[in-house]
């Protein structure tokens, strides 16, 4: 059974198997477009503002 999805960038059909090594994208171009969107912060993962502070708070020296 082969699963077929849509490329998240251009919506072209993509088979989820070894014949599409760029999956879930249809091409290296669509993969780079998506990477650029993450780098430009067009895509974000929701979180609280204080999450980053808690993550790095142990790295700082206490006065």
Residue set of the binding site: 7, 10, 26, 30
Binding positions for Zn(2+): 7, 10, 26, 30
CA distance 21 to 27: 9
Q: How far is CA 34 from CA 14, 50, 63, in A?
A: 16, 27, 42
**Tokens 């790295």 label which residue?**
59
């Amino acid at each position: 059974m082969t699963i077929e999805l849509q490329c998240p960038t251009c919506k072209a059909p993509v088979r989820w198997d070894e014949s599409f090594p760029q999956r879930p994208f249809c091409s290296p171009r669509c993969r780079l477009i998506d990477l650029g969107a993450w780098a430009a912060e067009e895509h974000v993962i929701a979180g609280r503002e204080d999450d980053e502070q808690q993550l790095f708070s142990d790295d700082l020296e206490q006065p």
